[in-house]
Structure formats: structure tokens, C-alpha cells
């Protein structure tokens, strides 16, 4: 049970934080309003005050989780000047290690499944993907200006392929696919950056 938040914004955030963690642990269709209220130390009526229906709180919790991940990643990336190092850091932050990042990946997988059958989830889903790909594109552009990435890259193509490789590898990690581990996933992504993006340094004669 968490300490009682003091303001409306605090209460709303506490509900969203509790909800997304419950979704990550149990699955979106196993979470009840009563479960959320219990974790928050409040009543079901309070949860319904901020989110009229179960679908409302579940949808908002999914978006909240993704937003928090973006905020955390943006803060860490800004501290790194070199674009190559910045992209490797972004990759590292995407690896589904045990803990919060793995839980966030659980949310992503469930968001995908919901977006397949619930069109109302798709706009936010596509916006999040666009933001992720824009982050990759901006890092690659930075690398081109710094001379660490090739100048002839198809930026949108790079972002699309890196996204697909990241998602595909993460799904295999999360579902326990043979031979796919967090370490193997990292090697695949780092190798993609090395082969596809990094500018060759002319040999000294």
C-alpha cells in the first residue's frame, strides 16, 4: 500500500503508476479496479472519480507508462554529446533487463495487442512510434554532422529497420525464445549500428 497522495494530480498519478505496474505483472485483462484501489490504499469510488470506467484507467495507464519512459530516456540522452555513444545508450536503455524496463516492455506488448483489436488505441500507439523513430533520426543527423555516421543514409529507413530489429528481438527475449537473450539482443543492435551507420575512417598511408 502506498502513502496517500495529497493533491488531485498526485492521486491521479498514483493511480496510473499502480495500474501500469499491475498490468505489467498480471496482464491488462486481469487487473480490476479493486486491485488498483487496494494498491493505492484508496476506494474504488476514488479510482472511478478520476477515471469513469475501467477502459479509461487502463488506456491512460498504458500511455502514462510510455510517457515516463520517454522522459527518462530524453534526460539521459541529453547528457551525451557524441552521437554514436548516444545511440548506443538509447539501445542500452531499450534492453528488457529485469526491472522497470522489462515491465515497460510488457506494457508495450500488451499495447500492441490492444491496438490490433481496439482502433481507439492506435492513434496514441502510432504517435509513440513516431516519437521513437524521430529520436533515432535526430541522433543519426547529429552523427552525420559530427562525421561519425555515414552521410548517404536513408534516415527514415534506418529508423524503421532499427525499430523492427529492436521490437523483434525484445519479443523473443520476453517470450523466452531459444538462443535469444538480452546480451544477444544487444549484440544484434550494436552490430546493426556498426555495419549500417558508422562512417569508415580512411586508412592512413
pLDDT given at position 63: 86
- Rounded to whole angstroms, what are the CA distances from 193 to 57, 89, 113? 38, 12, 29
pTM of structure: 0.86
pLDDT given at position 5: 58
pLDDT given at position 58: 83
pLDDT given at position 3: 54
pLDDT given at position 204: 45
Q: What is the pLDDT along the chain (205 residues), one digit of tens a residue?
A: 555 556 888 899 999 999 999 999 999 889 999 999 999 999 999 999 999 988 888 888 888 888 888 899 999 999 999 999 999 999 999 999 999 999 999 988 988 888 899 888 888 889 988 999 999 999 999 999 999 999 999 999 999 999 999 999 999 999 999 999 999 999 999 999 999 999 875 544 4
pLDDT given at position 191: 97
Amino acid at each position: 500500500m502506498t502513502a496517500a497522495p495529497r493533491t488531485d494530480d498526485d492521486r491521479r498519478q498514483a493511480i496510473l503508476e499502480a495500474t501500469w505496474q499491475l498490468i505489467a505483472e498480471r496482464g491488462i485483462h486481469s487487473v480490476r479496479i479493486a486491485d488498483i484501489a487496494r494498491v493505492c490504499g484508496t476506494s474504488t469510488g476514488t479510482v472511478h472519480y478520476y477515471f469513469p470506467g475501467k477502459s479509461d484507467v487502463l488506456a491512460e495507464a498504458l500511455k502514462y507508462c510510455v510517457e515516463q519512459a520517454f522522459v527518462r530516456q530524453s534526460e539521459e540522452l541529453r547528457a551525451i554529446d557524441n552521437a554514436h555513444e548516444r545511440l548506443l545508450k538509447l539501445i542500452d536503455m531499450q534492453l528488457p533487463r529485469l526491472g522497470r524496463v522489462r515491465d515497460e516492455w510488457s506494457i508495450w506488448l500488451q499495447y500492441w495487442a490492444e491496438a490490433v483489436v481496439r482502433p481507439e488505441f492506435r492513434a496514441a500507439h502510432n504517435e509513440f512510434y513516431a516519437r521513437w523513430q524521430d529520436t533515432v533520426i535526430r541522433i543519426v543527423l547529429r552523427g552525420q554532422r559530427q562525421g561519425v555516421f555515414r552521410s548517404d543514409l536513408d534516415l527514415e529507413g534506418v529508423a524503421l529497420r532499427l525499430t523492427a530489429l529492436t521490437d523483434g528481438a525484445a519479443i523473443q527475449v520476453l517470450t523466452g525464445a531459444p538462443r535469444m537473450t538480452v546480451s544477444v539482443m544487444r549484440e544484434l543492435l550494436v552490430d546493426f549500428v556498426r555495419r549500417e551507420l558508422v562512417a569508415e575512417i580512411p586508412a592512413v598511408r
